[in-house]
């Protein structure tokens, strides 16, 4: 169960959501549980939307996570600047921010 605020998730998003898939993998691997369904519960609308994950889907997500972890370990983790940067705790040390600041200082954009 993932409690949310903001725009409610629909069934399609719930079926595809990576975060819920990661929770399902963690439930299996850490607690030895096999969740029958994964649910977004919107606290503002009191709506619950649930979806299941089969082994095929969870194996695909596991492979994606392992690939991302390997890229991070290899230093292949380029920053992706966007509107979300204003909420980021790492902005002061972000290479994209430093490059943008350097470009601004030299008159580039």
* Interface residue list for ligand SF4 (CB under 6 A): 79-81, 84-85, 88, 90-91, 94, 96-97
Closest distance of CB 76 from ligand SF4, Å: 15
Nearer to ligand SF4, 1 or 72 (CB): 72
Between CA 61 and CA 41 the distance in angstroms is 22
Closest distance of CB 75 from ligand SF4, Å: 15
3-state class (DSSP) for residue 107: coil
Burial 98-107 (b: 16+ CB within 10 A, else e): eebeeeeeee
Nearer to ligand SF4, 92 or 106 (CB): 92
Nearer to ligand SF4, 64 or 95 (CB): 95
Closest distance of CB 86 from ligand SF4, Å: 8
Calculate helix-pair angle for 55-73, 18-31, nearest 10 degrees: 90
Closest distance of CB 54 from ligand SF4, Å: 32
Between CA 39 and CA 44 the distance in angstroms is 15
């Amino acid at each position: 169960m993932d409690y949310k605020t903001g725009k409610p998730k629909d069934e399609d998003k719930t079926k595809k959501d990576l975060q819920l898939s990661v929770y399902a993998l963690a439930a299996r691997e850490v607690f030895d549980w096999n969740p029958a369904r994964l649910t977004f519960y919107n606290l503002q609308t009191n709506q619950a939307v649930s979806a299941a994950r089969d082994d095929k889907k969870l194996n695909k997500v596991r492979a994606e996570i392992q690939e991302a972890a390997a890229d991070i370990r290899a230093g292949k983790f380029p920053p992706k600047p966007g509107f979300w940067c204003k909420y980021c705790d790492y902005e002061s040390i972000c290479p994209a921010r430093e490059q943008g600041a350097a470009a601004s200082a030299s008159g580039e954009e």
